[in-house]
Structure 1
């Protein structure tokens, strides 16, 4: 009897845990791109990132997020990130707008690789800062790349998107949030 319990109990516990994790991952309404961030509705962390040399745009700091009264979109990207390439056309579309600031944080990347990547695919960013040791990424709560933040004109983080943007995300989430924040100014 004891041998039967010793065999059955661990098996039963394993099945219950597996069932719970399966349910948590597949429950209705769960969006894997939505990860809660403690930074939402909080001031953006203080940072100062140096420019990516020979790109022709400056680096940036927290002060740039509040310098001209515009909403800022901060995109975390890397040359080694395949999903970053997939979302790049949407970043290019955002970069064409003159009513927002589009800033890029080059995350854990070699400067020469990032420069080649942006020269090959186009640089949509108004400013690009290097974060080679992910210090700024840690302060912003970055889980991985790509991630995109929307920061209002006062420097407060209003939205975080985890993973690559696609045209639907841009039209249905990002642009409405930007438009809403612009009407509040």
Structure 2
């Protein structure tokens, strides 16, 4: 099919609009994780402080747990931090942190300034574990079941509303399994 000089620009415009519409409608925060119901990838991360033991996939077995991916430069992480502190304070569920793609020392400074809600924190400075988990940005939070399988991925801030509407019912259901 031969395009005339008049229809070629129109055709190009329609293609560009379609591509932009597709990109806008496919929010990466709403994309399901390919790892749902699969085991957490094996990993060992250094801690934010030398000698503190870090975090490994072995820490995420034997009970229902949350893993929160955060960074000091992340605006959404600041939004969710009060909710994470409340979850930790109430002892609702063990909460582990992964500091993602932060400059050395920045994650630790941020946690010291704002208090850490995490039992353990691993340093994923190069983002390798984030790639293995399919992280598209921060914050992201994963629910891990008793067998070490990923049961849910939430992209975006965990606010009190998100906790009540999404996490609390899911955790109650997992507790019955």
Match for residue 146 of structure 2?
Answer: 153
Displacement of 1:126 in angstroms is: 0.6
Q: What is the CA distance between 1:10 and its match in structure 2?
A: 3.0
Q: Does residue 1:62 correspond to 2:51, yes or no?
A: no
**Counterpart position of 2:17:** 18
Q: What is the CA–CA distance in structure 2 between the aligned matches of 1:79 and 1:85, rounded to whole Å?
A: 8
Deviations 1:147-180 (A, max 9, x none): 1111101000000111222221111011211111
Instruction: Note the residue ranges of structure 1 that are not aligned, 5 or more in a row.
Output: none
Q: CA deviation at 1:104?
A: 0.2
Q: Does 1:132 align with 2:119?
A: no
- Cα deviation for residue 119 of structure 1 reads 1.0
Distance, in Å, in 1 between the alignment partners of 2:90 and 2:13 is 52
Counterpart selection for 2:47 from 44, 47, 51: 51
Counterpart contact for 1:53–1:111, Cα < 8 Å: no
Task: Give the alignment's TM-score, normalised by structure 2.
Answer: 0.88
Q: Deviations over 1:97-147 (max 9, x none)?
A: 435220000011134211111111110001101111111111111111111
5+ long unaligned stretches in structure 2: none
Q: Give the whole-Å Cα distance in 2 for the aligned partners of 1:70 and 1:57.
A: 22
The 3 A distance-change label for structure 1 pair 20 and 81 is closer
Deviates more, 1:154-163 or 1:5-14: 5-14
Q: Output the aligned Cα RMSD.
A: 2.4
Q: How many residues align?
A: 176
- 1:12 deviates by 3.0
Which position in structure 2 is the counterpart of 1:41?
A: 37
